[in-house]
Structure 1
Amino acid sequence: MTYIGATPVRRRIPVVRYMPGIGAIWLREVKRALRDRGQLIGGFSRPLLWVLIMGIGLNPYFRGEVYGEVRFVVPYTYVQFIFPAIIMLNIMYTSVQSAVSMIWDREFGFLREVLVSPLPRWAVLLGKILGGATIATGHGCLVILLARFANVPLSPGDVVVGIAFMFLAAFGLTALGIVIANRVRTFQGFGVFANAVILPLYFTSSSVFPLDPALTRAQTAVLYPEWLVLLVRANPLTYAVDSLRGIFIDFNQFDPSLGPLVAFCMAGGFFLVALWDFRKP
C-alpha cells in the first residue's frame, strides 16, 4: 500500500490492473469468431459427420471384434467410444485455426497498434488465447448437444466438469496455434502447417481406435505396430481424450490423473513458448 499525502492508495496486482485490456482483446476475438459463418458451419457439420458416418458406420464392426489372436472388447458402442474424441477434434480445429487472427492482425497493422499501447505483451497474448479458448470450448459444447444421438447419458455435473477440462485443453491448443502462427507468416502456409499438426496429433491420440494398456507388449503388437504404440503413448493429446472419456462415458484407458496433469503442463508450456516468441521484436 502506498500513500498520496495522507490518503492510502491500494496497489492493484498487474493481472487486475490489465483485466480491462485483456477483456477487450478477448471480446474482440469472440465477436470476430461469431461473425464467421464458415467457422460456425464447420463447428456443426464436423461432429455431425463423424457421429453419423464414422460412428454409426463402424459401430457394427467394433463390439466384440477379434483382431489377430487378441479379443479386444470395449463395453461401449463405437459411437459412444469416439464421442469424447469428436469433442476434442472440434476443439483442436477451432483452437488452432483461431490463431489465424494473429497473422491477420500482423498483416493489417492492428497488432502493431496494440503492442505500442500500455498493455504488456503477456496481457495481449493472454487475451487472444482466452478468446480462442472460449470459442473452441463453445464448439466443443456443440458436440455435447449430440450426446442424445450418440446414446451418451450426461448429468449436469459431468457437463460442468467436462466444460472446465475442455477449456483447459482449448487454452493449450490455442497457445499451440499461436506458436505456429509466430513461425508461419502467411495464411496459406499456416493452413497447410496447421493441418499437418492437427491430423497426426488427433489420429495418434487413441481417438479412433482403442489402446488397452493392460495388454502385454506381445498382445499389443498383434493389434498395432510398436512404433505406433510409442507415438500414441508419447502424444499428450492421448491423455486429454482419455480424460474426456472418463468424464463423459466413465471409461479410462490410462491413469485418470494423467489427463489433467498433462493438460496443465501442455497449457503452461505452450503459453510460455508463445510468450517467448511474442516478446521478440
Structure 2
Amino acid sequence: MTGLTRVLRYLHDFAAATHAVWLREVLRMLRDSGQIVGAFSRPVLWVMIFGIGLTPYFRTGLRETTFMVPFTYIQFILPAVVVLNLMYPAIQSAVSLIWDREFGFSREVFASPTPRSAVFFGKLLGGGTIAMAQGLLVLLLLPAANVPVSYASLLGALVPMATVALAFTAIGLFLASRMSSFQGFGVFANTLILPAFFLASSIFPLDPSLSMEQALQSFPAWLVFLVHANPVTYAIDELRWVMLGYRQFDPITARTVLSAFVLIPVIMAYHAFRR
C-alpha cells in the first residue's frame, strides 16, 4: 500500500467516524421533543414579551432613543434572539459528552481504532448543526417583524450564526471535558450564557453616534467596557448589519474578534478533549 493510499484511507475513515458521531448528535436532538419545543417557544416568547412590551419606550423621541427611530424595538432585538437561540442548544449539546462518559459509551469509542480527534469534530459539528437549525427557526419571524428578507441577507447571516454556534459548542465541550456531573455543567452553562447575552447590547443599545467619552457619561464605565469586550456583542452587531443595515461597532474590529472567538475555544476544547 503506497503512502498516498494510506493517507486517503485514513482520511476516509476519519470522515466516516466524524460523520457517524455528527449523525448521532443530530438524531439525539430530533428525538428530544423538549429541545424542539424550546426552539420554537423561546424566540416567540422573547419577541412577544420584550419586543411588543418595550416598543413604546423606544419610540418616545427622547435624545437617548432618537437614533433608534428608524427601527421598531422588535426589529432591534430580533438578531439578538437569533443569537440566543444559537447559544442555548450549542452549549447544551455538550451534555452528551458527560452522558457518554457516565454510561460507558466513551470507553467503548476510545477503545476502538476511531481517532479521538474524529469524535471531537463530530461532536463539534453536531452541536453546531443543532444550534444552526434552531437559530434558523428564528428567521421565520422576520416577516412578522417587518424585516426585509432577501437571499443575500439570509446568506450573510450564516457566517456570524455559524461563528456563535461553533464557539459555544466548543465552550460547552471544554466545560464538559473538565466536569463530571450534569448539575455542575448546567450551573456553569447558565452562568455563562445569560451574562454573555445581556452584556452584548442585545436588549439595550449603545448609541453609535456617541464617542467613548460620551458613552461613559451615559453608562457606567464597567458596563461600557464589558459590552465592548464581549465577543457576542459583535456577532449580534454583524447580524443587525445584515438584516437591518445598522451597526454600532467597527466592522474590522467585529470580524477580528469573531475570528478569535471561534478559533480560541475550539483549540482549547480540542486539547481538553484529547486529555
Q: TM-score range by the shorter chain?
A: over 0.9
Give the match for residue 50 of structure 1: 46
Aligned equivalents of 2:88, 2:205: Cα separation in 1? 22
Within 5 Å, which residues of 2 pair with 1:119-268?
Answer: 119-268=114-263
Measure, in 1, the Cα distance between the counterparts of 2:130 and 2:142. Answer: 20
**Where do residues 91-130 of structure 1 align in structure 2 (5 Å cutoff)?**
91-130=86-125
**How far 1:211 sits from its partner (Å)?**
1.3
Q: 1:276 to 1:60 in 2, by over 3 A?
A: same
Q: TM-score, normalised by structure 2?
A: 0.93
- Cα distance between partner residues in 2 of 1:139 and 1:66: 36
More displaced stretch, 84-93 vs 268-277: 268-277
CA shift in 2, pair 1:65/1:184, >3 Å: farther
Which has the larger share of helix?
2
Question: Structure 1 112/260 Cα, relative in aligned 2: closer, same or farther at 3 Å?
Answer: farther
Go from structure 1 to structure 2 and tell me whether the alpha carbon gap of 1:9 and 1:195 turns closer, same or farther (over 3 Å shift). Answer: closer
Q: Is the 1:240–1:262 contact (alpha carbons within 8 Å) kept by the matching residues of 2?
A: no
Between 158-167 and 246-255, the greater mean CA deviation after superposition: 158-167
Matched residue SS, 1:145: helix
Query: What amino acid is the match of 1:148?
Result: P
Give 2:76's aligned residue: 81
Q: Alpha carbons of 1:220 and 1:165: their partners in 2 closer, same or farther (altered >3 Å)?
A: closer
Q: Report the CA distance between 1:197 and its aligned residue.
A: 0.4
Shift of 1:218: 4.2
The answer on whether the counterparts of 1:94 and 1:136 sit within 8 Å (CA) in structure 2 is yes
- CA distance 1:264–1:86, shift in 2 (3 Å): same
**Runs of 5+ in structure 2 lacking a partner?**
none
- Number of residue-to-residue matches in the alignment: 274
Secondary structure at 2:251 match in 1: coil
Secondary structure at the counterpart of residue 41 of structure 2 = helix
SS at match of 1:170: helix
SS of residue in 1 equivalent to 2:249: coil
Q: Distance in 1 between matches of 2:214 and 2:253?
A: 24
Correspondence for 1:34 among 24, 30, 33:
30
1:25, 1:127 within 8 Å by CA — same for their partners in 2? yes
Helix, strand or coil: the match of 1:76? coil
Contact residue 67 and residue 207 of structure 2 kept, 8 A: no
Q: Does the 8 A contact of 2:90 with 2:131 survive in 1?
A: yes
Pairwise CA distance, 1:212: 2.7
Give me the identity figure in percent: 50
Answer whether contact 2:14 2:114 (CA < 8 A) is retained. yes
Q: Is the alpha carbon distance of 1:14 and 1:64 closer, same or farther for their aligned partners in structure 2, counting shifts above 3 Å?
A: farther
- Aligned-partner residue type, residue 52 of structure 1: M
Within the candidate set 57, 60, 70, 1:61 is matched to 57
- Mean CA deviation greater in 148-157 or 211-220: 211-220
| Aligned pair partner of 2:18 in 22, 26, 29 | 22
Distance 2:7 2:118 in 1: 18
Q: Distance in 2 between matches of 1:195 and 1:40?
A: 19
